[in-house]
Each structure stands twice: as structure tokens, then as C-alpha cells.
Structure 1
Amino acid sequence: MKTKYPRFIFTSVVLVALTACGGGGGGSSDSSRENTLVITSSNATEVANQVTSSELPIDNLRTTSSTSTLNTQLRTLASDSQERSSLATENFACSNSGSGTVTYNASGASSGTVSGQVTLNNCSDDGEYTLDGSLSVSGTYSESGESADLDITGTLTMTELATSKYLKLSSMHFDLSYAGTSMQYSQSYYASGTAIDGSFSVETTEAIQIDGGTFPTSGKVVVHGAEGSSLVIEFDSSGSGVYLSVNGGAAEFYTYEALAASPLD
């Protein structure tokens, strides 16, 4: 069977990459969990780097290429050559190490409804990071998967092999719509783990838009920390960086390279 890969993001994510909510407009953070990281001007760029890395699991995510396997497997949920009216399960090997399983059900070959689950077990494409976790997917697709509206929930843990430090994204909710090379998504999640100095929650307040490129060109994300602290991240229309506002202060522009390289003074 030849499989059609719809153009699809997450990361998230990541991505969260990764996680979302709110369709065309917004997300909500998980209020049932306690945020322990106080966001300040000293750690804002580090937090922004972690959040925007999990926001960008398209083709060349700067944090880890392990998400490429996840993206590919999620894209198989819609097929252009065979109707899937019953549950199907496929196992796959990740590029470097680890494995995963895709279980899905699609109602038609070129359009219809789709539901399924992607499970990752020590999945690594780059030999530097692994991904573990499970994502559930449901929604509709058309044009053999070239356009879709999908709702994705679950938990993902990314571990750096060299240090064993990990970042866990839980209570993930990711709402995605795409058509051809254009996509829009919103997400919310709770971030914790030894890779960060505390925990925080993330929500999308303005849907994130990507038009033909790799990086977002509009959208706004709010990171909620402890003691009422917050960080607003707004994606620049150039696709080269973001504007950061710490605890209600004036917004400053940073490229993605600057986020990774220097603290916010």
C-alpha cells in the first residue's frame, strides 16, 4: 500500500512539542498542576528557547530531530490508496534507535475521519535525544490528507542521552488545521523534568500560523510560572525570531539563535 503523508506538524510539541488547544484561537494551561519556576529576566530566554523549540517540530527542529519520526508516523494516519474501515496497527523502527507503534482507523481513502495513537519507545533519530510517550489523534482529512483538522492529546518525554536530563510535556492538548503548505495550530501543556529548573505551563492565546516555511510567522504563547510570573512570546512575521515580554514588561525581539546563546538582560 502506498501511503500519502499529509503535511503535518507537533510538537509540537513538543512538542511538544509540544501540545495544543483552542483551534483558531486559544489554549488553556493545566491549572491542576503547580508551576514552580519563577520566570525572571535572568531565565526568560532559556524558557523561551525551550518553549519555541517545542513549538517548531516541522522539518529541522533545533532541539532534536527525533520528532521527524513522530511527524512521519502521524502523517501516515491518512492514506491515499486504501480505505481503512477497520483498526490497523503498524510497528516502525526509529532512524537511530528505539521503536514505535501506530494504531489508526481512517474512514476513507481520500477524505473522511481518522483516529489513532502513536506510541514511542526510546525513539531517537539523531543519537542525542530520545522520545517516549503516547499521542492520541482524532479529526477529519480531505484531498488524500493534504488538508485536515486534527485534535492531539497525550504525554511526551524527551531525554538527552549524554546527561540523562529530561523534559516531560504532560496534559498536552494540540489543535491543528492545515491545507497544503499552510497550517495553524494552538497548544497547551505542562512542562517539568530535570532539564529545567522547575515547572511551568504553556498556553496559546493567539493561534500560531505557518505559511509555506518552517517557522511561525504569527501567533502568541503565554508561559505561566510560579508566584504569578509570566512570559509572553509573540512570533515575528519574518519567521526569524520572537518578541519576549517578561512579567508585563516591554517586548524585545530575539532571533532563535540569540535565544539559545544569551540570557535576557
Structure 2
Amino acid sequence: MTGVIEILSPAQVARARDTGALVADVLQSLRERATVGTNLLEIDTWAKEIILGAGATSCYVDYAPSFGRGPFGHYICTSVNDGVLHGLPHDYALADGDLLSLDLAVVLGGVAADSAISFVVGESRSAESVRLIETTEKALATAIATAGPGVKLGDISAAIGAVLTGAGYPVNTEFGGHGIGSTMHQDPHVPNAGRAGRGYKLRPGLMLALEPWVMVDTDELVTDDDGWTLRSATGCRTAHSEHTVAITEDGVEVLTLPSGR
């Protein structure tokens, strides 16, 4: 986090649309290509090829925050089943029924965008996995519908938390959404639970990465030996959904939608 809340110019927000579309297109391509037997390292290689081919830069390769064992050294986060955040790509072949979360952030034209999707690989789709994914997607949609100029950050956090806890899931607030702009991680922090009417008042030009994530039966995380991958403390399944949005004069714009939509 920078400690400074960045307000972007209309020109920067316009460039962020291109960045966001690239992030969304990469994630969509990887979702289509990831199947039973696909190796996580293949996914990382595919992401690298598309990102560099577009003239963009991954936010992760040199990423070395205080909570990780940096630098990350890869182009995308790949979290499987009980893995939920910062999944370090490694030599693992996806199996039928795996719940895969892909989290991607890139910089293009000097502006960053960040998005995450979760989906089930193959044909075996457990009800638990589907419900987890749908709940994070619903929480994200609710957060976006809540956002706008004059809205307080606590309003967004409360909206996300209401969906997650309403579905019966515990909520971890250590990691959540964040400001984004010329760099990937900025203030303000956007917890996935909070009190309405509290916190920073959203202004036009502010960009936020909103990212509900949840674990079936715990709010506690454990870190893999790789120093990066965060997993549920109980080994339960997890899911993660994220969009980058821009606060506008009259509402909110989702920036991480595939091009052509």
C-alpha cells in the first residue's frame, strides 16, 4: 500500500479501460484453455505470452510485499481447491472437479487493472464448489451496485459481508479489495465485511479492485512452504471473484470486462 489515495484523471481512466479489457481477455482465454491435465506452469506461460505480446507488464513478476517471500516471479496467481489467494504456479496438473481461481493484474499505458475468476475444471461440479463461486460473484455484483460517488467504503464492505455471511460463510478481513491506479496495490483497503456509513467517501476518478473471497468453514489462513500461497486452515474449498471499477460522476464503471462486450 502507498498510504496515498490516488484520484485518476479522465485520460488515465480511459487508459484503464484498455488495461482492464486486456486482463479480462487473458482470464477468459486461460479459462477456455484450462482443462483436465493442464499444468499450472502452462497457465503461467500462456499468461506471460499474452501479456508481453500486448506490450503490457505483469504486476506480479517483481512483486515483493512484506507478507510474501518475494519476488513472486510468475505472471498470474493460480489457486486450487483449498488455495484462495496468491497461489504460486507450480508443477501441478489440474484434475477433474478442481476449483481453480485465477488472479491477474497488469499495467498497460501506465495504469493497472486487477481481476480474478473462479471456476470448476472438467465435468465434475460439486454443489459446494458451485455455491462458493456463485456467492463470491453475487457479493461482487452487490458491491458494484453499491459503489458510486459519495458512497462510504464501509457501505461497500457491509454489502459484501452481508452476502457472504448471509450464505453462511465466515469472513476474513485481513485481505480484501484495494485502491488501484498507477500501481496495483494502493490505499484504501476494502475489507470484505464492515459497517455501513463509515470510512472514506468515494470520489470520481477513484479506482478500486473489489474482491470478495470466501472459505467454506473457516476465516483462518495458512501459508504454504512456498511463502506465497494462502490456503484455508481447515483444508476446505475456497473461491475468489474480483473486478476493477472506476467511480464516475454519476455511478461506477466496471473496467475488467472482456473486449467486445
Both proteins in one fold, TM over 0.5: no
Using CA pairs below 8 Å that are at least 6 residues apart, which structure has the higher relative contact order? Answer: 2
The structure whose residues are more often strand, as a share, is 1
The structure whose residues are more often helix, as a share, is 2
**TM-score (norm. length: structure 2):** 0.32
